[in-house]
Structure formats: C-alpha cells, structure tokens
Amino acid sequence: MNLRIIFLGTSGAIPSPDRNPSSIFLQYGKTRILFDCGEGTQRQMMRAKTGFNIDAIFITHLHTDHFIGCFGLIETMSLNGREKPLNIYSPQAEFLRDLFKMFGYNNLDFKIKVFDVKDGLSIRFDGFNIIAFKTEHIIESFGYAFVEDDHIKFDVEKAKSLGIPEGPLYSKLAKGEIVEFNGRIIKPEMVLGERIKGRKIVYTGDTAPIAKTIEIARDADILIHDSSFTSELENWAKETKHSTARAAGEIAKKARVKELILTHISARYSKNPEKIIEDAKSVFENVKVAEDFMVVELHRNKG
C-alpha cells in the first residue's frame, strides 16, 4: 500500500516566508489524515494538491500554531459541499467543541466529532492504527504513531504449484481465508510465507526530549521530532519544553530509528537550517530538516 507524507508546515511558533505553521499530511491508500493544522493549512493543501477529503485530524496540543487552521479548513469543506463526518482528535477536546459550537459548526451539512485524546489511545483505520502517546510541553500535549499492520508474504510460486489461478482466490488466501478449488481445500498456510513487520512513523509535536518517545519510536522507519533550536540554546529549549536538534538525534539513536526528520524549526534558522542538521548529525547520521511541501514516499518493508 502506498504511504506518502507531505510536510505542509514546518515552522516554529512564528512562521517565516518559507515556512508555514505546523501541519503534516499523510496518505495511506484512500485514507487521508492531518497531524496538526496550523494557520494557513488549507492554502498549503491547495498548493500541494492534496484535496480536502480528509478523514481525520490529530491535534498534538492547543497552541494556536497547531490548531487554528481547522477553522478555515472546516469552512472550506462546508462550502465545497462536504457530507462525510470529520473526526478530530485533540487534548482538551471540550474546549475545541465549545469553540466549534460558538462558530456555528453544529449546523453544518456534515458532523464534526471531537474526541478527547489520552495516553495510549489507539484509533483503528483500514490497515493501520494511530496511537497517541503523552509528551512533555508547557500545556497538555501528545504525539502520534502511525503503525501499519504486519503483513505476510504471499508465495505466488506455491500457489501456482497447487494450480490455483491468479485472481480472487489469491486475495482470499492472502487475507487468511480458507478456499476450495477443484474440490480441494486450500489453507492459507499452504501459500503464505514469512510475516513482515508493518511500517511505523512517529510524530512528536512540540515536546522536550523524553524517554516515552524512545519507547514509542523503537525501530520506527521515520521519527518526525521537534527541533526548535540548536544545542547553543539548550537552556531556552528546556525552559519552553522544546527540543534541540542534538537532543532529537539522541532520541533517534536510542530508539534505533531508520531516519530522523526535524521539524518545528525556529525562524532564526529559516535561512540557515545547516546549523540544525549539524547539531543533530553530531549524534545521529541519517537526518534531514523538513521543508514545506517536502514529500516522503515510504515503501513497504520487505523483511
């Protein structure tokens, strides 16, 4: 299944001419999700040509640079004739529900359902789960992990040797169903091979470096981590409960992730993100700084 990530906003609290406030678009097959929705996200979606057919929005915390874009996006969805319900997951959900009610969003042609996020909350989608985990910021905050289902390799040669024709029977067997062909019962284990671990992507939102992230991100394909500052501003990062690039690199190294992508970049580094890269690479090599409209295609693990 195709897995695509588009970074719609990668700035810190203050945007720059090149960086919009936080938002990440994830597409898995036909499912489309937003992680955070900062100011101007809908315009970024237009420019990235993602469309507005979003299934769910996951908000990390209720600082305006992470959620205020929901209002313009909802208005646009309404004007475009949306009918499908929109699910939003957020800490302090009651506050967000009250705001939507004040804006008259209870009277739209589609329902907006706002769910409260708790540590360990797991939301099921077709082929994957989104799992929330508690992070450490100056207000209640959560990160989110995309965890794909494990899959089992289908051995086409075994199927052919049993005389099974390509088509619907392959699909049923791959799903673990027993089938009958030419009067013979074919069990899935007769044509299935090794189990392959599903892909994992972890997004922290704004957070200080914490052990919980290491636990959640263990062996992840991609860790998208707060990297507001370089190590020279470590004291400021601690005071504001953000992370330095080096601290994000240490998390990535301890979690043994395959790739680290740094985001929530302070405007002071907008013109020279090399400082951020150098800080992280002092402890973890496979790292890049996210840029607005950067696209990441993540292919299925082959074992």
Total number of domains constituting the chain: 2
Task: Give the per-residue pLDDT at 245.
Answer: 97
Say if residue 80 is in the same domain as residue 117.
yes
Task: Give the per-residue pLDDT at 204.
Answer: 98
303 within some domain? no
Predicted confidence (pLDDT) per residue in 23-60, tens digit: 999 999 999 999 999 999 999 999 999 999 999 999 99
Boundary residue ending a domain (134, 161, 194): 194
Boundary residue ending a domain (173, 194, 215): 194
Say if residue 226 is in the same domain as residue 274.
yes
Task: Give the per-residue pLDDT at 196.
Answer: 85
Q: Are 9 and 36 in contact (CB under 8 A)?
A: yes
| CA 286 vs CA 197, 261, 303: distances in Å | 21, 9, 20
Structure tokens at 170: 């392959």
Say if residue 214 is in the same domain as residue 109.
yes
Contacts of 207 (CB under 8 A, 6+ apart): 135, 136, 137, 141, 143, 213, 226, 241, 242, 243
105 within some domain? yes
Query: Which CATH number do you get for residue 235?
Result: 3.60.15.10
Task: Give the per-residue pLDDT at 138.
Answer: 97
Distance CA(260)–CA(1), nearest Å, equals 22
Distance CA(245)–CA(262), nearest Å, equals 7
Boundary residue ending a domain (162, 194, 226): 194
Say if residue 111 is in the same domain as residue 231.
yes
Task: Give the per-residue pLDDT at 258.
Answer: 98
Contacts of 261 (CB under 8 A, 6+ apart): 222, 223, 224, 225, 287, 288, 289, 290, 296
8-state DSSP, 231: G
Say if residue 158 is in the same domain as residue 132.
no
Contacts of 245 (CB under 8 A, 6+ apart): 227, 229, 230, 231, 262, 276, 277, 279, 280, 287
Write the DSSP assignment of 144-182 as a string of letters.
EEEEEPPEEEE-HHHHHHTTPPSSHHHHHHHTT--EEET
Q: Are 173 and 159 in contact (CB under 8 A)?
A: yes
8-state DSSP, 190: G
302 within some domain? no
Q: How far is CA 97 from the centre of its chain?
A: 23
H helix count then E strand count, the chain: 10, 18
Say if residue 144 is in the same domain as residue 274.
yes
The continuous run of DSSP H or E covering 87 comes out as strand 86-90
Task: Give the per-residue pLDDT at 303.
Answer: 52
Nearest to 264, CA basis, from 234, 294, 224, 218:
224
Task: Give the per-residue pLDDT at 166.
Answer: 82
Say if residue 186 is in the same domain as residue 245.
no
- Identify the residue whose tokens are 């990062």: 237
Rg (CA), the chain: 21
Distance CA(61)–CA(36), nearest Å, equals 8
Structure tokens at 54: 């979003």
Say if residue 45 is in the same domain as residue 111.
yes
Q: Determine the structural domain holding residue 159 and report its residue range.
A: 152-194
Answer yes or no: 109 catalytic.
Answer: no
12 within some domain? yes
14 within some domain? yes
Say if residue 213 is in the same domain as residue 127.
yes
8-state DSSP, 198: P
Distance CA(68)–CA(23), nearest Å, equals 11
**Which one of the listed residues 36, 65, 206, 226 is annotated catalytic?**
65
Structure tokens at 245: 């690039």
- Is the whole model's pTM more than 0.85, yes or no? yes
Mean pLDDT by 10 residues, the chain (303 residues): 95 93 97 97 97 97 97 96 97 96 94 97 97 98 96 80 84 82 84 86 98 98 97 95 98 98 93 91 97 94 62
Say if residue 286 is in the same domain as residue 206.
yes
Say if residue 264 is in the same domain as residue 290.
yes
Say if residue 113 is in the same domain as residue 169.
no
